[in-house]
Amino acid sequence: MKRTPLYDTHRELGARMVEFGGWEMPVQYTSILEEHHAVRRRAGLFDVSHMGEVEMRGPDALRYLRRLVTNDPAALAVGQAQYTLMCLETGGVIDDLIVYRMGEDHFVTVVNASNADKDYAWMESHAEGKFKLDNISDTKALLALQGPLALSILQPLTDVPLSGVGYYHCTPGQVAGIQALIMRTGYTGEDGFELMVAGEQAAKLWKTLMEAGSPQGLQPAGLGARDTLRLEASMPLYGHELNAETNPLEAGLSRYVKLEKDFIGREAMLAARDKGLARRLVGLELVERGIPRQDYPIQHAGQTVGQVTSGTLSPTLD
């Protein structure tokens, strides 16, 4: 299994480590419930360095990206980010990702850890034009500071006026003397920042953030809380809500699909839309106690009408 640059830090903190997407990652430090509430009420710090990063730079980078993804990166100003999807010709989802526009001809994408190698191979196979495609995953670390106190914890560590970095925007800057890409994005449904830094700087940045945030109640948070947080916020997870047999329209993500432009999978999605969707993603609340797990059948009037994609206790609503 792969390990992030923060592996030793997690061990020192007594984290319970599990396999996720080919990586050995912390699922929890204290308890999932405690870490979940910390993020909702104060702030939590996540190691998400297992995520993949791919850089595109050159005069044809935008044209290439517009063909590759369902959303339209041409709508992005420099310093802005966008949620989008890559799809097969059949319309099925290869992955969901975030595109950050760093310059007129310069983009960085963040993809899911379990799909990083597959995604890069797909990107390479469709690369045409004058631009450079570079998998920078092995050189970068990604820390996510999430929660209502994230800004007040981070601001004293940087000269960047963070209140001016809007949601789904990004800017380069220094955090505690460490060069970083500061991104106001996340996967929790809370305000927060994701910080992309050189891998060798990750441990120093983690320690600095924890020292700065501990007086305000900042806690380390693992993948267990990340999952309950994203599910409360109705954020999809690849392999659950998204897969190669599900198109974005079925997954309720039509607002991220710009059918007026050309992209891989567009014709299949137009056909599916015109025919009428045979299934769609919905949220369910159990009237009895218990947690519905992935692939549990959903029945109505004695007939199986669907299946569970993700299920959990909602710590916030419980």
Distances in Å between the Cα of 42 and the Cα atoms of 148, 149, 153, 217 are 6, 5, 10, 6
Residue whose entry in the numeric block shows the structure tokens 């802005």: 80
Residue 318 has pLDDT above 80, yes or no: no
Kind and range of the H or E run holding 194: strand 192-198
Fold held by 1-281: Gyrase A; domain 2 (3.30.1360)
| H helical segments located in 126-222 | 150-154, 202-213
The partner residues of 172 in beta bridges, in order of sequence, read: 181
CA distance 249 to 269: 8
Determine the 3-state secondary structure of 243 from DSSP: coil
Distances in Å between the Cα of 50 and the Cα atoms of 156, 203, 295 are 27, 15, 26
**Tokens (6 digits) for 112:** 């899911």
- Segment 36-45 shows an average pLDDT of 99
DSSP 242-290: B-TT--TTTTT-GGG--TTS--TTHHHHHHHHHH--S--------SSSS
Least confident residue range of 97-101, 285-289, 297-301 = 285-289
Q: What are the φ/ψ torsions at residue 45 (nearest 5 degrees)?
A: -115, 120
222-264 pLDDT per residue, tens: 999 999 999 999 999 999 999 999 999 999 999 999 999 999 9
| Ramachandran assignment for 311, one of left (phi > 0), alpha (psi -120 to 50 degrees), beta (any other) | beta
Parse the chain into domains and list their residue ranges.
1-281
Residue whose entry in the numeric block shows the structure tokens 């500071």: 145
* 72 or 293: which leads in pLDDT: 72
147-175 pLDDT per residue, tens: 999 999 999 999 999 999 999 999 999 99
